[in-house]
């Protein structure tokens, strides 16, 4: 389940008022989420959550659900 | 027995990759050293060998012949380093690569591929991409690398684009991955299709590495033989197939190698896609024909983790790379310090900016960020290039700071280059270098007459590496060729022998080095509910932060309340996803807001100026 916090960070970064973001939502389905904005989103997540993604963890995320689980893993 | 296993490397699937049964010679886990420790003697012998290599290139008839020669004389020399995030790279030697290519060529011939036929390659970042590409060339067929469809691109749009290309270029075969069979199969079934069939070469069972006598390759290439087909980047249906001969590519390698002082000590690193001329010619054909290694990074992995480039430079001690302007901003702004641990850029002697307008601020921020990581500021360089001239036309000489001019912005907009006074609104124009051997440039007006000094005009080019025309598109070819000169559509000027590229005649938008045609966007949006048909313009707005253009749209609507406008905005952005276009800014305006051109259509430039003026006022 995607938290409101993660959804809010993504929408704010993409300047979207609302968009239905779910577990299986992929980047290509979200308006504005492309190669130029992707890193900005990741940086915004790191800043908002106070975390750092290591190495190539991000590359393994296939959808927003994977991203949520990766974030959650930083808070055992 | 050597074989090619189905090692499909995808950035989203698990990393348990089948080890290729194909036995790669040389150590898997360490670079093959090409430098001896003996200093001057080595340097002199390298200079001699560079000279020999350039002479050799001038004598061979084909790229394939050159690869065979290198495989014979430098069997164990490293050719391609296939880079995968978080894994040991796969290293191809020249010997292994050419041997694998011959195996592929043999298979292709059995499948019916003939000399002169076009083989489209739609394969993701994969260690066996390279022998597949080379195997096509070994048959005398023409490889044409096409972009693997982005997931956001609607399958129908991808198929339409491919169909258009097929009709235009005459694609004969498609070599691809099984995942695309659903999209490609209908193309083959269509009555008027030129496509004879498709194969999945990454899945081919064991192929015996034959001896020379077993493979009857096309033995008699001549330099004028067509070698490869490259499609200009763009959105659906507007791609132009650029046909390059062996001679064009070989001449270019000789001349461009001289322009960048290429030596045997060099090592090229690249994340650039191989369907783009910069990736294909500069970072693939140049090193492989010259006889130096190329490190190939997955473009999809790079955009998600740009530090990959820096890691490859550090670990492999790479010396050259090419980047579009936006990449400088991305590398400067988007990587936190922890991702740069251990990074050293001391080995890098040339970092060449090309394929979209160069921004001085992008270079500044890149140097500021990386000088403490060993970057030599003089490594920053630039060039002006296009597929139609094989690649480069101009290049900033190595170890020379890139010249730039601070010019009056308004006068430049009206076509005149005038140095700006301190209090004037200015634009910094960055040089794309001086002419490389074999090229000439004229700056011309709309009537194709040379302009006077200090005037902006269209760049017309003569090149010894000029393409042979747009395949099956004589009308388009005739539009751009006149009396031996190629009219590029780019705008620029010359100052003290340096060429400055400042824009394009036509309204093409360049986002992160990719050409986007506004007509595609306008057609898509004009058909949406809530938008007045025919009353849409799309254009690029410069984004200083990103170091590239972003796409903006102005559309007339009868909608009045904010909620309805927001819904329309969302609809526009979503609709454009299906043509793989991201709209950064949507300006919804009332009916009759758009300024028309003299032709009666909304003028992109005039409306861009109006939007910018209104933004300044706010």
pLDDT tens profile B419-457: 999 999 899 999 999 999 999 999 999 999 999 999 999
B205, B211, B215, B221: CA torsion to nearest 10: 120
* CA atoms within a 13 Å half-sphere pointing along the CA-CB vector of B119: 32
Q: Is B158 on the interface with A (CB under 8 A)?
A: no
Query: How would residue A17 be classed by pLDDT, with cut points 50, 70 and 90?
Result: confident
Q: Is B570 on the interface with A (CB under 8 A)?
A: yes
Looking at residue B51, its pLDDT comes to: 58
Choose the final residue of a domain: B483, B504, B525: B504
Q: Is residue B451 part of a domain?
A: yes
Helix, strand, coil shares of chain A, percent, nearest 5, are 55, 0, 45
pLDDT 10s digits, B153-162: 777 778 877 8
pLDDT above 70 coverage of chain B, percent: 88
Query: How would residue B238 be classed by pLDDT, with cut points 50, 70 and 90?
Result: low
Rounded alpha-carbon distances, angstroms, from residue B338 to A54, B303, B332, B341: 9, 18, 14, 6
Mutation choice for A interface testing from B582, B584, B587 by most A CBs within 10 A:
B582
The boundaries of the domain holding residue B543 are: 509-617
The CATH code of the domain that includes B465 is 2.30.38.10
Secondary structure letter of residue B480 according to DSSP: H
- B83's enclosing H/E stretch is strand B78-83
Looking at residue B232, its pLDDT comes to: 73
Q: Is residue B488 part of a domain?
A: yes
Q: Is B306 on the interface with A (CB under 8 A)?
A: yes
Q: Is B542 on the interface with A (CB under 8 A)?
A: no
Q: Is residue B270 part of a domain?
A: no
Cβ neighbours around B437 below 10 Å, total? 12
Q: Is residue B332 part of a domain?
A: no
Residue B510 pLDDT exceeds 70: yes
Choose the final residue of a domain: B504, B536, B563: B504
Between β-strands B226-231 and B241-245, what pairing exists: parallel, antiparallel or unpaired? Answer: antiparallel
Looking at residue B512, its pLDDT comes to: 87
Q: Supply angle C-alpha B242, B248, B254, rounded to 5.
A: 135
The CATH code of the domain that includes B581 is 3.30.300.30
Residue B45 pLDDT exceeds 80: no
Q: Which of B566, B600, B606 is nearest to B586 (CA)?
A: B566
Q: How many domains does chain A have?
A: 1
Asked whether B307 and B343 are in contact (CB, 8 A), the reply is yes
Q: Is A24 on the interface with B (CB under 8 A)?
A: no
Tell me if residue B443 falls in helix, strand or coil: strand
Residue B240 pLDDT exceeds 60: yes
Asked whether B322 and B362 are in contact (CB, 8 A), the reply is no
pLDDT 10s digits, B594-609: 988 777 778 888 888 8
Residue B126 pLDDT exceeds 60: yes
Please state the pTM of the whole predicted model: 0.86
* CA–CA distance, B302 with A55 (Å, rounded to integer): 13
pLDDT 10s digits, A34-58: 888 899 999 999 999 999 998 789 9
Query: How would residue B365 be classed by pLDDT, with cut points 50, 70 and 90?
Result: very high
Mutation choice for A interface testing from B9, B12, B312 by most A CBs within 10 A:
B12
- A19's enclosing H/E stretch is none
Q: Closest to B11 (Cβ–Cβ): which among A37, A43, A59? A: A59
* CA–CA distance, B109 with B241 (Å, rounded to integer): 24
Average of per-residue pLDDT values in chain B: 86
Classify residue B576 by burial, with Cβ atoms within 10 Å: 0-12, 13-18, 19+: buried
Mean pLDDT computed over B174-183 = 93
* CA–CA distance, A76 with B515 (Å, rounded to integer): 45
Query: How would residue B495 be classed by pLDDT, with cut points 50, 70 and 90?
Result: very high
- Tokens representing B73 are 């004389």
Choose the final residue of a domain: B504, B530, B558: B504
Instruction: For residues B594 and B514, state if they share a domain.
Output: yes
Q: Supply angle C-alpha B318, B262, B396, rounded to 5.
A: 95
Q: Is residue B235 part of a domain?
A: no
Residue B122 pLDDT exceeds 90: yes
Q: Which of B37-41, B93-97, B341-345, B576-580 has the lowest mean pLDDT?
A: B37-41
Secondary structure (DSSP) of B520-580: HHHHHHHTSTTEEEEEEEEEEEEETTTTEEEEEEEEEE---SHHHHHHHHHHHHHHHHTTT
- Non-local CB neighbours of B379 within 8 Å, separated by 6+ positions: B345, B348, B349, B350, B351
Looking at residue B12, its pLDDT comes to: 28
Looking at residue B1, its pLDDT comes to: 24
The boundaries of the domain holding residue A68 are: 4-73
Looking at residue B372, its pLDDT comes to: 97
pLDDT 10s digits, B454-479: 999 999 999 999 999 998 889 989 99
Looking at residue B219, its pLDDT comes to: 58
Looking at residue B46, its pLDDT comes to: 55
Query: How would residue B486 be classed by pLDDT, with cut points 50, 70 and 90?
Result: very high
First to last CA, chain B: 72
Q: Is residue B476 part of a domain?
A: yes
Asked whether B95 and B75 are in contact (CB, 8 A), the reply is yes
Q: How many domains does chain B have?
A: 2
Asked whether B352 and B381 are in contact (CB, 8 A), the reply is yes
Cβ contact, residue pair B301, A59, below 8 Å:
yes
Instruction: For residues B487 and B542, state if they share a domain.
Output: no
Cβ neighbours around B110 below 10 Å, total? 9
The CATH code of the domain that includes A44 is 1.10.1200.10
pLDDT 10s digits, B184-234: 888 888 777 889 999 999 998 644 444 444 455 655 788 999 999 998 754
pLDDT 10s digits, B55-65: 788 888 999 99
- Non-local CB neighbours of B617 within 8 Å, separated by 6+ positions: none
């Amino acid at each position: 389940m995607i938290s409101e916090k993660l959804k809010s960070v993504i929408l704010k970064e993409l300047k979207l008022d609302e968009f239905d973001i779910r577990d299986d939502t992929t980047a290509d389905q979200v308006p504005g989420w492309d190669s130029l904005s992707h890193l900005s989103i990741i940086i915004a997540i790191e800043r908002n959550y106070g975390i750092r993604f290591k190495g190539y963890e991000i590359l393994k995320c296939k959808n927003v659900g994977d991203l949520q689980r990766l974030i959650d893993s930083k808070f055992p | 027995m050597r074989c090619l296993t189905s090692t499909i490397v995808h950035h989203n699937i698990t990393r348990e990759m089948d080890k290729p049964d194909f036995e790669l010679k040389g150590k898997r886990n360490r670079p093959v050293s090409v430098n001896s420790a003996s200093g001057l003697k080595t340097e002199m012998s390298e200079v001699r060998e560079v000279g020999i290599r350039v002479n050799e290139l001038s004598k061979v008839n084909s790229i394939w012949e050159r690869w065979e020669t290198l495989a014979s004389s430098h069997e164990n020399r490293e050719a391609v380093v296939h880079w995968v995030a978080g894994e040991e790279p796969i290293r191809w030697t020249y010997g292994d690569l050419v041997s694998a290519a011959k195996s592929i060529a043999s298979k292709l011939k059995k499948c019916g591929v003939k000399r002169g036929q076009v083989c489209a390659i739609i394969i993701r970042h994969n260690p066996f991409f390279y022998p597949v590409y080379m195997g096509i060339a070994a048959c005398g067929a023409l490889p044409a690398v096409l972009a693997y469809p982005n997931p956001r691109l609607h399958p129908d749009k991808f198929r339409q684009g491919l169909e258009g290309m097929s009709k235009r270029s005459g694609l004969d075969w498609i070599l691809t991955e099984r995942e695309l069979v659903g999209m490609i199969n209908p193309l083959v079934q269509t009555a008027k299709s030129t496509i004879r069939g498709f194969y999945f070469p990454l899945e081919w069972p064991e192929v015996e590495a034959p001896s020379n006598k077993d493979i009857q390759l096309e033995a008699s290439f001549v330099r004028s033989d067509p070698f490869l087909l490259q499609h200009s980047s763009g959105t659906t249906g507007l791609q132009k197939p650029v046909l390059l001969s062996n001679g064009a590519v070989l001449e270019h390698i000789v001349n461009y190698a001289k322009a960048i002082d290429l030596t045997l000590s060099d090592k090229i690193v690249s994340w650039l896609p191989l369907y783009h001329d910069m990736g294909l010619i500069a970072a693939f054909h140049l090193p492989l024909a010259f006889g130096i290694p190329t490190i190939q990074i997955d473009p999809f992995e790079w955009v998600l983790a740009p530090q990959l480039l820096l890691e490859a430079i550090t670990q492999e001690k790479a010396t050259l790379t090419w980047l579009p302007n936006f990449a400088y901003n991305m590398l400067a702004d988007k990587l936190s310090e922890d991702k740069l641990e251990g990074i050293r850029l001391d080995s890098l002697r040339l970092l060449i900016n090309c394929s979209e307008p160069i921004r001085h601020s992008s270079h500044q921020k890149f140097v500021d960020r990386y000088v403490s990581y060993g970057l030599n500021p003089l490594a920053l360089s630039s060039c002006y290039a296009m597929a139609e001239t094989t690649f480069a036309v101009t290049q900033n000489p190595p170890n020379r700071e890139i010249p730039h001019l601070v010019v009056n912005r308004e006068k430049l907009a009206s076509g005149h280059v005038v140095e700006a006074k301190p209090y004037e609104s200015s634009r910094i124009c960055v040089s794309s270098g001086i002419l490389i051997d074999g090229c000439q440039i004229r700056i011309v007006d709309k009537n194709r007459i040379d302009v006077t000094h200090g005037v902006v005009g269209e760049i017309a080019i003569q090149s010894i590496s000029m393409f042979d025309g747009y395949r099956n598109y004589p009308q388009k070819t005739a539009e751009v060729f006149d009396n031996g000169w190629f009219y590029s559509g780019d705008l620029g000027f010359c100052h003290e022998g340096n060429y400055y590229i400042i824009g394009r005649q036509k309204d093409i938008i360049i986002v992160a080095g990719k050409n986007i045609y506004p007509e595609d966007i306008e057609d898509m949006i004009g058909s949406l509910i809530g938008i007045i048909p025919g009353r849409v313009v799309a254009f690029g707005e410069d984004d200083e932060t990103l170091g590239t253009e972003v796409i903006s749209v102005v559309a007339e609507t009868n909608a009045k309340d904010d909620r309805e406008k927001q819904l329309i905005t969302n609809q526009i952005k979503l609709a454009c996803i299906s043509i793989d276009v991201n709209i950064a800014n949507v300006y919804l305006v009332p009916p009759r807001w758009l300024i028309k051109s003299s032709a009666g259509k909304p003028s992109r430039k005039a409306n861009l100026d109006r939007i910018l003026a209104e933004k300044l006022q706010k």
